[in-house]
Amino acid sequence: MADRAELVEAALEVYPEGLALLDEADRVVFWNHAAEIITGHPNAGIIGRELPQGLEPLTACGLFERSELLMAPASSPLLARGTLVHAQHKQGHDIPAITRRLVLRDPLGGRIGTAMVFHPSEHANALPHGDTSEGSEVRASQAELRDHLETEYERFVHEAVPLGLLWITVDQAESMRKTHGARACEAMLENVERTLANHLRAGEEVGRWGDGEFLVLSHEASGEVLANHAQLLAGLARTADFRWWGDRLTLTVSVGASKAEPGEALAEVLNRAREGMETSAHAGGNRVTWAPGRFACSRS
């Protein structure tokens, strides 16, 4: 009869996504069949070694503690979306992949390794946007803003015009829609959009990117300046005076900031901004997260 360890290993081996287990020294101790197929690196050539050059992006960002995932709802983007990265196949071609990492700890809390789950991104070039309810008028704003976004991205590629994005969500939108109704929520969002629009810099643009989300297009050349600008807009949204039937409602926003890099697809820039926004929201909201490009892995 197979023991527990054999059963677990057999189950992980046939797991449909690429699965890797790294020890405390970041050496690979488990590499399943899906990981072999996705990367082209056979199990025998990778076990006991650090990840080969070209696969390091699979470890990029998105490192979560088990406690964070246990507290996240089943629909949480932490569980579903992961981080879009570009790894390199053993044969040299590019692998757009969605990767997620989880730190592994012993019963005393000491780090004993890392689990890494990844799969090819079939829609790496699809432009992500916020959710919209059926029949929502926000879809028209999304379509118009998408056209402008693609135009600005072409200017970035061909004319080297900087392109920065701020993905903003109002932390109270969902709860307000439930407690005060759709009309109150929409009035609040219109108020926030006016506040943001009144404090944009020359050449910037803001529009609805989801039922409770906004996207700001910026031409800031510096990531630091873009992040500081996001902090300013977040503060303005927080102090926006919104009243409904005499009640003054406190508003906060979660923001993700990203800046386009040479050779990076527009979808990647958007995904990084969304990931930053989701990180801000998951941390409690009312904050800004800078989401660096594929060649950096730090978060703020």
290, 257 Cβ separation under 8 angstroms:
yes
CB atoms within 10 A of CB 111: 11
Q: Rounded CA gap, 138 and 143, in Å?
A: 9
Q: Are residues 142 and 184 in the same domain?
A: yes
Across-strand partners of 103?
114
Give the integer Cα–Cα distance in Å for 203 and 222: 15
Tokens of 43: 């199990």
Number of structural domains the chain divides into? 2
The residue segments making up the domain with residue 225 are 138-290
Report pLDDT for 65. 43
Q: Name the domain boundary from 120, 154, 169.
A: 120
Q: What pLDDT score was predicted for residue 3? A: 75
Give yes or no: residues 151 and 285 share one domain: yes
Here the tokens at position 170 are 């109002």
Model pLDDT, residue 299: 35
What sign for the dihedral angle of Cα 256, 259, 261, 267? positive
| Residues 107 and 166 occupy one common structural domain | no
CA-wise closest residue to 59 among 124, 106, 113: 113
Full pLDDT tens readout for the chain, 300 residues: 457 888 888 888 888 889 999 999 999 999 999 999 899 999 889 999 999 989 988 887 554 444 444 444 434 444 445 677 888 888 787 888 888 888 888 888 888 999 999 988 765 456 777 777 756 678 888 888 999 999 999 999 999 999 999 999 988 888 888 887 888 888 888 888 988 999 998 889 999 998 889 999 999 988 889 999 999 999 888 766 667 766 677 788 999 999 999 878 888 889 889 989 989 998 888 999 998 875 443 333
Dist. CA 144–CA 132, nearest whole Å:
15
Q: By C-alpha distance, which of 32, 39, 35 is closest to 14? A: 32
Ramachandran assignment for 109, one of left (phi > 0), alpha (psi -120 to 50 degrees), beta (any other): left
Helix (H, G, I), strand (E, B), or coil: what is residue 252? coil
Say yes or no: 162 and 255 in one domain.
Answer: yes
206-234 core/surface letters (b: 16 or more CB in 10 A; e: else): bbbbbbbbbbbbbbbeebeebbebbeebb
pLDDT of residue 126: 63
What's residue 73's pLDDT? Answer: 43
Q: Are 142 and 280 found together in one domain?
A: yes
Whether 272 is in a domain gets the answer: yes
Contact 75, 108 (CB under 8 A): no
pLDDT for position 245: 66
Joined tokens for residue 210: 């989801």
Query: Residue 198's domain is classified under what CATH number?
Result: 3.30.70.270
Q: pLDDT digit string (tens) for 142-190?
A: 888 999 999 999 999 999 999 999 999 988 888 888 887 888 888 888 8
Q: Quick check: pTM over 0.75? A: no
What does the pLDDT read at residue 80?
A: 44
Q: What is the CATH number of the domain that holds 106?
A: 3.30.450.20
Give the position of tokens 């197929």. 37
Could you tell me if residue 278 is inside a domain?
yes
**Residue 161 resides in a domain:** yes
Helix (H, G, I), strand (E, B) or coil at 125: coil
Same domain, 104 and 192: no
Q: Are residues 157 and 258 in the same domain?
A: yes
Residues 201 and 147 placed together within one structural domain of the fold: yes
> pLDDT tens across 58-75, in order?
887 554 444 444 444 434
Q: Are strands 94-105 and 164-170 parallel, antiparallel or unpaired?
A: unpaired
Same domain, 150 and 284: yes
Query: What confidence score (pLDDT) does residue 213 get?
Result: 92
Residue 191 included in any domain? yes
